[in-house]
Amino acid sequence: MVPPVCQKLIVGTHVLDDSQQLASFYNQSSASLAVTMVVSLDMVHQHLNSTDPFVRCCALTALSELSPALHADVLTLVMAYMQDPSAFVRQAATRAVQHVAKADDGIVDLLCARLVDYDGRVRTTAANVLGDVVDRGNEYAVAAVRAHLLVNNNVEVQLSLLEGLTHVAKKGDRAVINAIVRMMQNPSHTVREGALRLLPYAAEKGDIHAINALISVFELPNSNFRIWSTAAKLLPQLAEVGDEHTISALCELLDTHRDHDAKAFAAQALTEVAEQGNLHAVRALSSRLKHHSAHVRSLACANLPKIARPGDVHVVEALTSSLADPNASVKIAAQRSLRRLQGLAPTLRNFGCAIASSPHEGTAAVAASNLS
């Protein structure tokens, strides 16, 4: 397709400008009107020389729609503007490369140069384009990005280089994973969170080294709400459903972490990693109903129904016992969880009748009333 800015229409010996209409050249005595279209970069050159970065961006977008086979200067022009003073123009030129260039070593070098650009948007675009034009495992691309990584001391640029590596290196590349794990320990929250988000792209699902690194983020000094939230969301992308090692590690966090938010995110991750009915997870959460921390007991109450099998009498009994907890938050969490089990009302009512003569007769009655 030839973008309009690259088209010149010729009728006879007349070159039409944008203000002229074809109808004015039509001769009624003739059944047809011969019009020739010529591919021309004259207007593109004018736009590229504009002082307005937006106009230059539009010209580069037009070039990206023009096949290099139609005009040999397309790639040369795009490459020249990858070093434009305007970050917006450099980003547009970088984006255009994937449409006008073949994946060769020269293009890899150009994109690697933009991976160390001072503007983060240009770096991100370069990483994405590199992944689009180069196959995973391309040895030249991997070596080129690593070479930049070795000599660059700017952590934000290093993060962009790592992002580029996740696009070109084979998944499971241990050197890439180790580099990301080291970046996850950076004191900058922005850098740490960015590295976290790269880990699932670099590691295979079930990679125990990557899983341990992700869990260890909860214990790193200076971590915060966003870091824990990100780690909790990413963990199910790496851990296999029902993985006992991950379940045990998350339960350990529930026990030992000092921050309530971190405990809450660990519980959230636990419910997503453990499949419904997983005995290890159910027993682990049930045992936390007797934890010395009311916050942990409350989290256990709230999350038990998410992993218990429908009609699990042991879970119902545990939640019913928590209705007598001395802490109001635990009681409320237990009540809400029992309400979530309303679809199991017949099973629970039978359970309530069975324990009516127990010391928790009043508690059982409350549980039954919540479900009626």
What is the chain's pLDDT, residue by residue, as a tens digit (372 residues)? 777 777 778 777 777 777 777 777 776 666 677 777 777 777 888 888 999 999 999 989 888 887 665 556 778 888 889 999 999 999 999 999 888 877 676 888 889 999 999 999 999 999 999 988 888 888 899 999 988 888 888 888 989 999 999 999 999 999 899 999 988 988 888 888 999 999 999 999 999 999 999 999 998 888 888 999 999 999 999 999 888 899 889 988 888 888 888 888 888 898 889 888 888 888 888 888 888 889 889 988 988 888 888 778 888 888 899 999 999 999 999 998 888 865 544 444 444 433 333 334 344 444 444 443
How buried is 191 (Cβ within 10 angstroms: 0-12 exposed, 13-18 middle, 19+ buried)?
Answer: middle
- Predicted TM-score of the model (pTM): 0.70
Q: How far apart are CA 183 and CA 101, in angstroms?
A: 32
Residue tagged 């073949």 (tokens) = 102
Q: How far apart are CA 208 and CA 73, in angstroms?
A: 50
Whether 81 contacts 89, CB under 8 Å: yes
Question: Of how many residues is the chain composed?
Answer: 372
Whether 192 contacts 184, CB under 8 Å: yes
Q: How far apart are CA 79 and CA 102, in angstroms?
A: 13
Type of residue found at 320? T
Q: What is residue 290's DSSP assignment?
A: G
Whether 136 contacts 171, CB under 8 Å: yes
Cα-only R_g, the chain: 31
Q: How far apart are CA 316 and CA 314, in angstroms?
A: 5
**Which residues pair with residue 9 across a beta bridge?**
37
* Residue 11: φ, ψ to 5°: -115, 110
